[in-house]
């Protein structure tokens, strides 16, 4: 019943990307052939130690930092955890306030939730209807108790690119005025690294998360840039690898692969951005021409070139995904039905959109193997699927007339759903 996935019809590059063959080739010798533990003093160990040092300096030269300022982790999620737990716990004496945007990845939000239980004060920054954080809002919220500000470079649902440089300026100004090294500024560049400037000097960040499998590298590896002088405590203790910041034998093949993938991404950045951006625009134009009642989620211009996130009114995203899947098309949704918590996407809700918009959101993310043919294929099958699901749906939302829930009388006991109750009670 289900067609095998065809790479050409894969529109979920924000979820993960296929490993680049060249990267795989670079990794290969480090599994069985060059297998030494970089911590060993003998030849086999020195061989791999040298290799990861090379990989480190390759990454450092791309980020414009020192090798020692980049810590390899088991995932970007771990890097986010390290950035937040690590700086929060090391600087607790200075204060307990952390500012994050409302559209952070769960790796940041859930970590902050855990810190809240430890007694930290977490401030969630609102975003405007396009998903942008206003640096002026941060300026207003900063006080001497603030130890960390974390704003995602480009969020993983709409791909909206934040003004990281402007935010960094605001924070530096505050630090200069107060004569304090705090607050630190962290950004999660997991989605952005492929298409945006990741020169940490230019960006002015103190901590930055990078993911490998979002840019055609292997899964199971990420990294955190930590500027020299930033007070941070490790999460994982043991043999003291990576300057005691992340114990555990280094994942040699993945480190090699990560460095190779990042170098390739950096090399092709301009060209690939332009190519993918053109295809995305074609898709966006096609979709808005062929399907009535859709709303764009995210900033119309300041957006990653491979992202298109739309809310298709009156339909539910998971159902649409399964119909698309039947045609071999892979995409993603912010619908509650597609999440473990049964809560709709916090990012779409943070844009001020009503609940049904999140329910009906579809995310298409393009990448290396997307062509004009892929876009045409999607444009051929999406409109009839939407039509079929709309026929089945009892809803008829009106564009622009946005209520929180369109049929309140449908809910048991006339109550609002739990996700709205929770938001209201805060």
Partner 1 sequence: MKKIKKSKPDIVNEFTGAKWVYSKAVKSHFFHPQNFLTHDPKKSEFDAEGIVGSPACGDVMRMWLKIDPEKDKIAACKWRTFGCASAIAATSMLSVMASEKGGMKLDKAMKIRPQDIIKRLGGLPDRKIHCSVLGDKALRTAINNWFKKTGQYDRIVVEGSRVIDPYTKITEADIEEAVIEGALTLKDVQQRTKVGAGYPQCLLEVEELIHFYKEKYFGQDK
Whole-number minimum distance, CB 256 to partner 1, in Å? 25
Are 385 and 323 spatial neighbours (Cβ–Cβ below 8 Å)?
yes
Are 253 and 31 spatial neighbours (Cβ–Cβ below 8 Å)?
yes
Among 55, 336, 350, 366, binds partner 1 (CB under 8 A): 336
Nearest CA to 128 out of 355, 403, 350, 402 is that of 350
Among 206, 314, 348, 353, binds partner 1 (CB under 8 A): 314
Nearest CA to 355 out of 287, 412, 423 is that of 423
Are 155 and 347 spatial neighbours (Cβ–Cβ below 8 Å)?
yes
Among 128, 134, 197, 325, binds partner 1 (CB under 8 A): 325
Question: Using the rule CB under 8 A, is 174 a contact of partner 1?
Answer: no
Marked catalytic residue, from 65, 112, 196, 337: 337
Whole-number minimum distance, CB 317 to partner 1, in Å? 8
Q: Which stretch binds partner 1 (CB under 8 A): 92-100, 199-207, 279-287, 331-339?
A: 331-339
**b/e map 369-389, b = 16+ CB within 10 Å:** ebeeebbebbbebbbebbeeb
Using the minimum distance from each CB to partner 1, give the nearer residue, 1 or 176.
1
* Beta-bridge partner residues of 211: 222
Whole-number minimum distance, CB 17 to partner 1, in Å? 13
* Footprint of partner 1 on 348-377 (CB under 8 A): 355-356, 359
Whole-number minimum distance, CB 221 to partner 1, in Å? 17
Q: Which stretch binds partner 1 (CB under 8 A): 80-88, 90-98, 126-134, 314-322?
A: 314-322
Nearest CA to 150 out of 208, 232, 79, 231 is that of 208
Q: Which stretch binds partner 1 (CB under 8 A): 65-73, 140-148, 297-305, 323-331?
A: 323-331
Please tell me the distance from the alpha carbon of residue 215 to that of residue 264, in angstroms, as a whole number.
9
Among 3, 136, 392, 399, binds partner 1 (CB under 8 A): 392
End-to-end CA distance of the chain: 45
| Residue 196 annotated in active site | no
Please tell me the distance from the alpha carbon of residue 182 to that of residue 74, in angstroms, as a whole number.
27
Question: Using the rule CB under 8 A, is 12 a contact of partner 1?
Answer: yes
Question: Using the rule CB under 8 A, is 403 a contact of partner 1?
Answer: no
Using the minimum distance from each CB to partner 1, give the nearer residue, 38 or 344.
344
Among 100, 316, 347, 349, binds partner 1 (CB under 8 A): 316
Please tell me the distance from the alpha carbon of residue 294 to that of residue 309, in angstroms, as a whole number.
10
Using the minimum distance from each CB to partner 1, give the nearer residue, 278 or 327.
327
Are 15 and 366 spatial neighbours (Cβ–Cβ below 8 Å)?
no
Using the minimum distance from each CB to partner 1, give the nearer residue, 50 or 118.
118
Are 14 and 159 spatial neighbours (Cβ–Cβ below 8 Å)?
yes
Whole-number minimum distance, CB 368 to partner 1, in Å? 19
Using the minimum distance from each CB to partner 1, give the nearer residue, 7 or 342.
342
Using the minimum distance from each CB to partner 1, give the nearer residue, 119 or 414.
414
Q: Which stretch binds partner 1 (CB under 8 A): 84-92, 191-199, 281-289, 413-421?
A: 413-421
Tell me the DSSP string of 162-228: P-HHHHHHHHHHHHHHHT---SEEEEE-TTGGGTS---HHHHT-SEEEEESGGGTS-SS-EEEEE-T
The 10 Å Cβ neighbour count of residue 31 is 10
Instruction: Please give the structure tokens belonging to residue 332.
Output: 């993603």
Catalytic amino acids?
Answer: 337
Binding region for partner 1 (CB under 8 A): 1-2, 12, 15-16, 106, 314-316, 318-319, 322-323, 325-326, 332, 335-340, 342, 344, 355-356, 359, 391-395, 405-407, 409-413, 415-419, 421-422, 425
């Amino acid at each position: 019943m289900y067609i095998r996935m065809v790479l050409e019809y894969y529109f979920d590059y924000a979820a993960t990307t296929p490993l680049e063959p060249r990267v795989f080739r670079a990794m290969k010798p480090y599994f069985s052939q060059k297998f030494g533990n970089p911590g060993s003093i003998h030849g086999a160990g020195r061989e791999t130690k040298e290799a990861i040092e090379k990989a480190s300096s390759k990454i450092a030269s791309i980020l414009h930092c020192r090798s020692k300022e980049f810590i390899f982790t088991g995932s970007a999620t771990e890097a986010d955890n390290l950035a937040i737990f690590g700086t929060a716990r090391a600087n607790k004496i200075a204060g307990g306030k952390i500012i994050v945007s409302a559209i952070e990845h769960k790796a940041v939000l859930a970590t902050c939730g855990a810190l809240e239980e430890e007694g930290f004060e977490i401030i969630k920054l609102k975003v405007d209807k396009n998903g942008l954080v206003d640096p002026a809002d941060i300026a207003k919220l900063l006080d001497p108790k603030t130890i960390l500000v974390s704003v995602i470079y480009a969020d993983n649902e709409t791909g909206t690119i934040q003004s990281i440089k402007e935010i960094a300026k605001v924070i530096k100004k505050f630090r200069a005025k107060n004569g304090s090294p705090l607050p630190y500024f962290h950004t999660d560049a997991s989605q952005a690294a492929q298409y945006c400037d990741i020169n940490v000097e230019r960006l002015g960040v103190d901590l930055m998360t990078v993911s490998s499998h979002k840019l055609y590298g292997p899964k199971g590896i990420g990294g955190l840039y930590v500027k020299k002088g930033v007070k941070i405590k490790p999460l994982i203790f043991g043999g003291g690898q990576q300057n005691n910041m992340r114990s555990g034998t280094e994942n040699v093949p993945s480190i090699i692969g990560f460095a190779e993938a990042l170098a390739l991404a950096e090399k092709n950045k301009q060209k690939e951005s332009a190519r993918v951006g053109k295809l995305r625009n074609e898709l966006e134009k096609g979709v808005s021409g062929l399907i009535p009642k859709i709303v764009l989620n995210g900033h119309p211009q300041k957006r990653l070139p491979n992202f298109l996130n739309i809310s298709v009114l009156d339909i539910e995203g998971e159902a649409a995904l399964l119909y698309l899947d039947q045609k071999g098309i892979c995409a993603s949704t912010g619908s509650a039905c597609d999440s473990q918590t049964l809560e709709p996407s916090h990012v779409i809700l943070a844009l001020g959109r009503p609940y049904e918009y999140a329910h009906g959101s579809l995310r298409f993310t393009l990448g290396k193997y997307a062509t004009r043919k892929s876009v045409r294929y999607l444009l051929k099958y999406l409109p009839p699927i939407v039509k079929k699901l709309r026929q089945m749906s009892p809803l008829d939302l009106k564009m622009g007339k946005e209520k929180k829930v369109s049929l309140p009388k449908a809910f048991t006991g006339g109550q609002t759903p739990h996700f709205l109750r929770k938001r209201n009670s805060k």
